[in-house]
Chain A
């Protein structure tokens, strides 16, 4: 029986390997047909530059073409504002900035992450478009009015020969800045009376940007996500020089097979591909396999990649540590990740306070009598255990509780007699500053404050084990 199943498994493996090869051949064909026909075309720009651009913008030629036709020839008017959206790492800023720098169009690229105030943004835009002299005219805390005035002045000195472009990256942060900044940027062409176009780049759809009194509607342009074939094509480009490109692209194919259902971020995938490639090559170096033994290589790398999902993809283990492990040939889970370091050393009473807070947060108040009173009256078992799934507190999250309840449970779970000294109360407030508890509602600090417990079940289990307290017996959800 076991021999039979082993044979079946072997056969299956061979089938999958063959299927993988077939897929590769097919994808190669598709890509060739996809990449060959297109080239950027737009009048008003030199042909040879467009040709080199076509080569540098892999899989984004259609989008670049649309952008170029929207921009028009350099000296023609262009639409006042264009909003480009698409997922992370779909080449939004790459395509746009490559076009602008390569065709040497006057442009200013600002990122809203850097510009914590609007003034910084104005300064960057002015210095990129008109030089530092114009930017120095801005007063210290500059308003939009100053920006527009100085822009107009500079415009009179350098009238537009070509369309000027302002590229605003991470435009979703514009919504958190001054309320009039976004509407003003959208109609900047009208305000400064110059041939200027503002590009806004964002991951978030335009509907979430629109101010409630409306604004000038920009043109919307979508950058679609890369398909699996395109990802394969792009990732296969940075192949290792000492191996053949086919070998590398078969590696990428295996990598995508594992990661594609979780992650489609090109940057992340590229990072993972670079990290795990040496593990993939290991059988070759040792002489156990040849480049054509796709199946052997696949069997070697696949469990490794699955482990990578849980560790290095989540940044549990840093990339350096991950590489170190591969060199040292350690068992990959031997190293404890970041989340394993959750053990916190606390004083004895703090531990019990935390346990009491956990019990108060996750048990309904009506069950306290049953759990913590020695001689509680009779309680109907059916009544006590009445619950359905939605009310499970480990799904809903912690409930707030008053200080009195915390102290009552605390005294009941601590065996020895504890005096309510200042140190007990100060321990409660220090638990709040450690963010193990959170205070709910800040209306009164002294008179019956309410708290919530903010630790996970695993954490509290570990704590209660150290003081040999069986917390599961006291939790309503686990009865």
Chain B
């Protein structure tokens, strides 16, 4: 059966609308992995056709559709709606799903270092350990995945490389981590889904299995530990000790790669663990200049050549490059660059902007970006203050006064109420006198919103009106909120401005 025959036989089934949008990109990754793991080949760059015709796998409905829609779309132009949804799909995958780029940008030396290290383990059977350190969103996982991708594609890696992925968030203690390792290595004592044996047995078994191996014969294992610093909090650091010990002695070739965002991670390690670590560190400290940041902005938004409608993609790309020259966009980018240089915050900004693209406005405008930036940089506390009632706002003002008078000493409800009463007696005309329990209810609402916080964390058993509190707001935040507050009575405003009650 040739591809074209195959396609025509499936054409009838592909008429539903959802399927025609499916592209090669949406090919389910889990499915692809499963194909490889059952058959056991390590070559990743296989075209769909190869899979289909090598293994005669029954083709699921949407898979064939995706291929077909791609063929068809080459021939004619898509409507605006389809184009927009295609753009959304491509860009969303970039921003939300952290799709791997072809080459890591700006990290060439680190990439080379890591790749060389991993290759030595995979090819020569040398045991290694390395820590990749960088702030959140600086591309640690991306760097590692890129390196692994290139390594596994290359011809030199003859033997199968086993990978064990662990995360400090999931494997919260050594017992769970060990179970996960045995499961991922598919060792013999695994029957079905269950792992038998106690923790000690498991450990002995695993170490035996690793010890029996040697450089030449056994398959290299990559241990990838994400959130490495959390593993250092395990009891006695047994897992780290054993992994690093294996990497130091001439046993099965392993590479231990830790990813962490803590610069002081070596201080967390015990002495015996630290001495077994090779002290190779790869730092990903972002050294992005603003020019590079703007280039990244442009390239993140630019559509690739394989976009089905070439006319639309040209227009889109033209619009993007026009956007980059816009003054207001430049300002927004500068602001974001100054607050945070990582790509993740850029992605969230871009997602907010791109999600506003619709059929009625099919191009990305500076207004969208402005709106997105406004949304992502809004002050949450002033938003919350905006929704308070007048009574609650008055309580906050009296707390502010107490803070001013007694220089940040904690206060209790009685003092606040006293201050508020003084205001009512002297100045107020617009607010009538509320009973104390009503005021206390307002006070408790502020406590629930965590705008005020008990000093000792609420552990004290004192009466509720005598519990000491602190205001979690700034002087300026209160004043700004007051400016923005809808229909704020004038006497309340004046009271807030006057320094002493």
In the complex, which residues of chain A have a beta carbon less than 8 angstroms from the beta carbon of B62? 161
B261 within 8 A of A: yes
Given known contacts A156-B30, A397-B414, is B85 in contact with A43 (CB within 8 Å)?
yes
7 A-B interface contacts by CB (under 8 A): A86-B387, A87-B449, A145-B170, A189-B97, A213-B261, A219-B376, A438-B462
**Chain B 160-180 against A: per-residue CB contact (8 Å), 1 yes, 0 no?**
000000011111100010011
Chain A's nearest CB lies how many Å from the CB of B5?
Answer: 27
- The reply to whether A77 and B93 contact each other, CB–CB distance below 8 Å, is yes
Q: In the complex, what residues of A have CB within 8 A of residue B167's CB? A: 191
Asked whether B387 lies within 8 Å of A213 as measured between CB atoms, the reply is no
Q: Could you tell me the distance between the alpha carbons of A104 and B465 in the complex, rounded to whole angstroms?
A: 48
Docked-complex contact A78 and B449, CB < 8 angstroms: no
Contact indicator B93/A310 (Cβ below 8 Å): no
Q: Which of B102-110, B303-311, B434-442 contacts A (4 or more CB under 8 A)?
A: B434-442
Interface string of A306-329 (1 = CB under 8 A from B): 000110011010000000000000
If A77-B92, A78-B96, A390-B406 touch, does A225 touch B30 (CB 8 Å cutoff)? no
B81 within 8 Å of A (CB atoms): yes
Pairwise interchain contact B98-A69, C-beta atoms closer than 8 A = no
Which residues of B are found within 8 Å of A78, using beta-carbon distances? 92, 96
Number of B interface residues, CB 8 Å? 82
Please provide the chain B residues from 425 to 482 with a CB less than 8 Å away from any CB of chain A in the complex: 431, 434-435, 437-438, 441-442, 448-450, 461-463, 465-466
* B376 lies within 8 A of A220 (CB): yes
**Separation in Å of the A152 CB from the closest CB of chain B?**
8
A137 — which chain B residues lie within 8 A by C-beta?
193
Q: Which of B172, B389, B437 contacts A180 (CB 8 A)?
A: B172
Task: Specify which chain B residues have a CB less than 8 angstroms from the CB of A148 in the assembled complex.
Answer: 170
* Residue A364, interface by CB 8 Å: no
Contact A77 B450 (CB under 8 A): no
The answer to whether residues A69 and B356 also contact, given A205-B381, A313-B438 and a CB cut-off of 8 A, is yes
Q: Do A76 and B89 form a contact, CB below 8 Å, given A262-B442, A395-B414?
A: yes
- Per-residue CB proximity of A31-54 to B under 8 Å, as 1/0? 000000000011110000000000
Q: Knowing that A159-B30, A189-B97 touch, tell me 10 more A-B residue pairs with CB under 8 angstroms.
A: A43-B84, A69-B355, A85-B380, A87-B384, A152-B30, A194-B30, A215-B136, A390-B406, A396-B414, A397-B462
Partner-B contacts on A (CB < 8 A): 41-44, 69-70, 72-73, 75-80, 85-87, 90, 137, 143-145, 148-149, 152, 155-156, 159-161, 178, 180, 183-184, 187, 189-191, 193-195, 203-208, 213-217, 219-222, 224-225, 227, 260-264, 309-310, 313-314, 316, 339, 390, 394-398, 438, 452, 454, 456
Please, which residue of chain B has its CB at the minimum distance from the CB of A153?
B193
- Interface-central residue, B81, B96, B176, B448, by most chain A CB under 10 Å: B96
Within the complex, what minimum Cβ distance (angstroms) separates B175 from chain A?
Answer: 10
A144 near B172 with CB under 8 A, answer yes
Which one, B352, B378, B418, B437, contacts A339 given CB within 8 A?
A: B437
Partner of B172, one of A73, A77, A145: A145
* CB 8 Å contact bits of B28-71 with A (1 = contact, 0 = none): 11110010000000000000000000000000001000000000
Is the Cβ of B387 less than 8 Å from the Cβ of A214?
no
**How many Å lie between the Cα of A41 and that of B84 in the bound state?**
14
Decide: A204 near B450, CB < 8 A? Known: A43-B359, A76-B89, A262-B442: yes
Cα A80 to Cα B167 with chains together (Å): 18
Bound-state Cα–Cα, A180 to B229, Å: 13
User: Do most interface residues of chain A lie in helix, strand or loop, or is the interface mixed?
Assistant: loop
Closest residue of A by beta carbon distance from B135: A214
Whole-angstrom CA separation of A160 from B31 in the bound complex:
11
B358 at interface (Cβ–Cβ under 8 A)? yes
- Chain A residue numbers with a CB within 8 Å of B95 are 79
Q: How far is the CB of A72 from chain B (nearest CB, A)?
A: 6
The answer to whether A398 and B26 touch (CB under 8 A), given A79-B96, A191-B167, A262-B434, is no
The CA of A313 and the CA of B441, in the complex, are separated in Å by 10
Report the separation of the CA atoms of residues A69 and B92 in the bound assembly, to the nearest whole angstrom.
Answer: 12
Chain B residues lying within 8 Å of A77, measured Cβ to Cβ, are: 89, 92-93, 96-97
Least CB distance from A332 to B in Å reads 15
Measured CB to CB, the closest approach of chain A to B165, in angstroms, equals 10
Q: Give the shortest distance, in Å, between B148 (CB) and chain A (any CB).
A: 15
Partner of B390, one of A143, A225, A261: A261
Is the pair A213, B262 in contact by a Cβ cutoff of 8 Å? yes
A156 to B32, CA, bound (A): 10
Q: Mark B79-120, 1 if CB is under 8 A from A, else 0.
A: 001001100110011011110000000000000000000000
Q: Which 10 A-B pairs have the closest CB atoms?
A: A397-B466, A225-B387, A205-B380, A261-B390, A69-B355, A145-B170, A77-B96, A87-B387, A184-B169, A159-B28
* Nearest CB of chain A from residue B431's CB, rounded to whole Å: 7
A191 touches B169 (CB 8 A): yes
CB pair B84–A160 under 8 Å, yes or no, is no
B146 neighbours in A (Cβ, 8 Å): none
Residue on A nearest B97 in the bound complex, by CB: A77
Closest to B345 in A: A217
CB of B493 closer than 8 Å to a CB of A = no
Cα–Cα, bound, A195→B28 (Å)? 10
Q: Quick check: A204 and B387 within 8 Å, CB to CB?
A: no
The answer for the CA separation of A195 and B27 in the assembled complex, in Å, is: 12
Closest to B260 in A: A213
One of B93, B262, B462 near A452 (C-beta < 8 A): B462
Question: B486 interface residue, CB < 8 Å from A?
Answer: yes
Check A144–B351 contact: CB distance below 8 A.
Answer: no
Consensus secondary structure, chain B interface: helix
In chain B, positions 7-22 with a C-beta closer than 8 Å to chain A are 18, 21-22
B190 on the A face (CB < 8 A): no
Q: How far does the alpha carbon of A203 sit from the alpha carbon of B383 in the complex, in Å? A: 11
Closest chain A CB from B79 CB (angstroms): 11
Select the residue from B89, B176, B389 with max chain A CB neighbours within 10 A. Answer: B389
Residue B334 lies at the interface, judged by CB distance under 8 Å to chain A: no
| Bound-state Cα–Cα, A73 to B96, Å | 14
Q: A145-B176, A184-B169, A191-B170 are in contact. Are A214 and B261 (CB under 8 A)?
A: yes
Contact with A along B346-385 (1 / 0, CB 8 A): 0010011001101110000000000000011010110110
**Any A CB within 8 A of the CB of B215:** no
Cα separation A156 to B378 with both chains bound (whole Å): 40
Q: Does chain A have a CB within 8 A of B24? A: no
Q: Which of B126-180 contact A (CB under 8 A)?
A: 136, 141, 167-172, 176, 179-180
**Residues from chain B with Cβ under 8 Å of A314 in the complex:** 437-438, 441
CA–CA, A137 and B193, complex, Å = 10
Q: Which residues of B contact A195 (CB under 8 A)?
A: 97
- Pair A79/B380 contact, Cβ less than 8 Å: no
Q: Using Cβ atoms and an 8 Å threshold, which residues of chain B touch A152? A: 30
Q: Are A72 and B92 in contact (CB under 8 A)?
A: yes
Q: Using Cβ atoms and an 8 Å threshold, which residues of chain B touch A206?
A: 380
Q: Which residue of B lies closest to A453 (CB)?
A: B463
* Complex contacts, B461 vs chain A, CB 8 Å: 438, 454
Residues in chain B near residue A208, CB distance under 8 A: 450
Contact with A along B405-434 (1 / 0, CB 8 A): 010000010110010000000000001001
Pick from B169, B442, B448: contact of A144, CB under 8 Å:
B169
- Given contacts A227-B486, A397-B463, are A205 and B384 in contact (CB under 8 A)? yes
B437 neighbours in A (Cβ, 8 Å): 310, 314, 316, 339
Q: How far is the CA of A195 from the CA of B29 in the complex (A)?
A: 11
Contact for B169 among A161, A180, A204, A220, CB less than 8 A: A180
Give the residues in chain A near B193, CB-CB below 8 Å: 137
User: Which of A152, A222, A261 gathers the greatest number of chain B CB atoms within 10 Å?
Assistant: A261
Residues of B within 8 A of A155 (CB): 30
List the B residue with the shortest CB-CB distance to A314. Answer: B437
**Which of A144, A184, A260, A396 has a CB less than 8 Å from the CB of B389?**
A260
**Would A261 and B88 count as touching, CB distance under 8 A?**
no
Given contacts A214-B261, A264-B389, contact A156 B34 (CB under 8 A): yes
Chain A: minimal CB distance from B364 (Å): 13
